[in-house]
Chains A and B, each alone.
Chain A
Amino acid sequence: MPPGSASAPAVMGGAGRGRLADNVVHFVRVLRAAGLPVGPARTLAALEAVAAVGIANREDFRGALGAVLVSRQDELPLFDQAFDLFWRHPGLLERLTAALSAEGAAGAEGEPDAAIAARIAQAMLPAALLPVRPPDPGTTGVETALRSSSHEALRRRDFETMSAEELIAVRAMLARLRLPLPELPARRTAAAARGHRVDLRATLRRATGAAGALAPLRWRQRLRRTPPLVVLCDISGSMDRYARMLLHFLHAITNDRDRVHVLLFGTQLTNITRQLRHRDVDVALARVQRAVPDWAGGTRIGRCLVDFNRRWSRRLLGQNAVVLLISDGLDAEAGEGLAAQMERLSKSCRRLVWLNPLLRYEGFEPRPAGIRAMLPHVDDFLPVHNLESLTDLAAALERPSVRGRMGWRRAPERGSR
């Protein structure tokens, strides 16, 4: 059916203007809320595409929007579902509400399709219409509008003491966090107005066109590039709550740029980079859940580091990698052999940053044997228990590393808890 009936979302009008345009804009907004990276430029392109194709044929219309708004294969299912929901039914909101409450009972397994549908629905619906669902920390990502004052309070609240609604709100904030690493000079060069190397090729091409004997020199300069980031995250029982929250953050930074690798460890090491690469956070986390056999079990940090050093370090730590080790350092094997493995890890990367939620306690002292064994080998030792500490992490990484001068540095005191 062409979206031409007089019903709510799909209304005829001059392409690019009027109510059709409004609805296209609204549709793009829905996609954005559902997690697709579509900016204003895409909206304009979408309007242009719709104007070019027209709305006589539904599949053409879908194709036109899809060609403009989808840029990765794994975004397609989300787009198609959103398209079907948005452009088909008259009386859309009522139908959606009904559909949602019908499937409310299902989906505990974290079915990707159901999760997508739910999220699209939530992106389309005003908050008041949402059916009440039991909050499920693993699979949903509801964006709840919060007043700015509660935002501020949330930033400082410890993940572990948050209520279910707060966790949901914070998850949405986590998804927007980024982790900019300072750029390092790369070996590659690019043409530049002022550089340190003559670009002979460009100079000569210029010389053939210039009058007179003097040819202006062209220059090249070294490019700068962010180094690879490798995240080792502890998912043992004591870290469970933090790890589940941090996965949302890790998903965001994994999809933000290339050369990010994420490994989880408890009693064994699992590389979840590929799972996290799925654009849709719910699908990604459902896949992670399936890939990891040792959620919330014990910790054998030393054993996992041996494994990492032998199997992964040579593959992931080239080209000046920065390593984030997220762990409370409470090791079931009391730090046996840990020091040697930490030393090797530290020596194979550019910078080793240890994020430890235990640092939230004012009087934290590195007493457990595991922590004492690891501390001398890290470049930075920072807290990771609330949103603010994650925001501060970016600032900490901007500072030059102090490797060699002191073993570790206590993070600046925060009046958090």
Chain B
Amino acid sequence: MLPIPPPASVDDVVALLDRHDYFADRRLATSVFLALKMARPLFLEGEAGTGKTEVAKVLAAALSRRLVRLQCYEGLDVASAVYEWNYPRQMIEIRLAESGGHLDRDQLAHDIFTTRFLLKRPILEALAPADGVPPVLLIDELDRADEPFEAYLLEVLAEYQVTIPELGPIVAKAPPVVVITSNRTREIHDAIKRRCLYHWLGYPDAGRELAIVRRKCPRAPESLAREIVAFTQRLRGMELFKPPGIAETLDWAEALVALDRLALDPQTVADTAGVLLKYQDDIGVLVPGLVAELVGGARPADPGDAPG
């Protein structure tokens, strides 16, 4: 797999992402461009379902690099994120040395803490890839990890290196492309953000969302796609606990296609509301009168510009 050279301009980034079915707005493309150019991590924050993870996936595909993904969770530690020693192999090595009879303890201690016994976890894999090609490292939902892990990341993000006490620092020959995402379930520390390029991913406007639906769900007829987009756009303007993201819009489009619907009607909306809204309180807001009004509003209106 030969890595594709990084794009030379923001326009190239837009075109590159577009070829891989990702419609990036200008600001996101600029952030991506700078992240590649300056070899800085890209910090993407935004509501769930706005396409943060997708950026990393598309980047990996577009640059023809491997995607190394680290899903964060509370209590994530070095052993699952960075590296771990291969304890069974180390034990066997000790047993072999003992049964061999010639036991030089200093030598043994030296031998079993070498790269041969090292299991690479995502971060080390990204810094020292087996094939030598720096991958795209996706650190997904960093807000789910706890503060100690954030602190650990500082060294990784600033120097592109990790320090293994028994081996010393391991420095990346070429820095990986790092994408960090956060749903903002808590604030990430300023020290992390300071080392990254920050981008807030919001909901797309109607024109861009329509283009996304048309591209990602081509089986939906254009008129239906327009109604779907107009409907979800209006839904986002309401006071909901969790407004639908692009992911939900696409799911809904798929669902309506699967149900062979060619146009929205209040009954269908009520039946499929669970695809769009994931909280009972939010679904409760969609009383029949309001649904009829939203459907009526979505039908004749042109939601925005034609797909770009």
Residues of A bordering B, CB below 8 Å: 186-189, 200-201, 204-205, 207-209, 213, 258-259, 306, 309-310, 314-316, 318-319, 340, 344
Contact = CB atoms under 8 A, between A and B. Distances in A.
B97 to A, nearest CB: 9
B87 A200 contact: yes
Contacts of A213: 98
B10 interface: no
B108 A208 contact: yes
A208 B94 contact: yes
Interface in B147-166: 147-148
Interface stretch (B14-22, B64-72, B179-187): B179-187
B146 A188 contact: yes
Contacts of A207: 91, 94
A187 B112 CA distance: 29
Interface of B: 74-75, 77, 85, 87, 90-91, 94, 98, 105, 108-109, 112-113, 146-148, 184-187, 239, 241, 281
B239 A315 contact: no
Contact of A187 (B74, B113, B147): B74
26 contacts: A186-B146, A188-B75, A188-B146, A189-B77, A200-B87, A201-B85, A204-B94, A204-B112, A205-B109, A207-B91, A207-B94, A208-B94, A208-B105, A209-B105, A209-B109, A213-B98, A259-B147, A309-B241, A314-B185, A315-B184, A315-B185, A315-B187, A318-B185, A319-B74, A319-B146, A340-B281
Nearest to B95: A213
A351 to B, nearest CB: 18
Nearest to B112: A208
A134 B112 CA distance: 73
Nearest to B87: A200
Nearest to B184: A315
Nearest to A188: B75
Contacts of A259: 147
Contacts of B75: 186-188
B203 to A, nearest CB: 15
A314 B98 CA distance: 55
A387 to B, nearest CB: 32
Contacts of A310: 239, 241
B241 A204 contact: no
A188 B281 CA distance: 35
Contacts of B113: 205
Nearest to B98: A213
A188 B75 CA distance: 5
A188 B77 contact: yes
A201 B281 CA distance: 49
Contacts of B90: 204
A342 to B, nearest CB: 14
Contacts of A309: 241
A314 B90 CA distance: 44
A213 B113 CA distance: 19
A20 B109 CA distance: 53
A115 B91 CA distance: 65
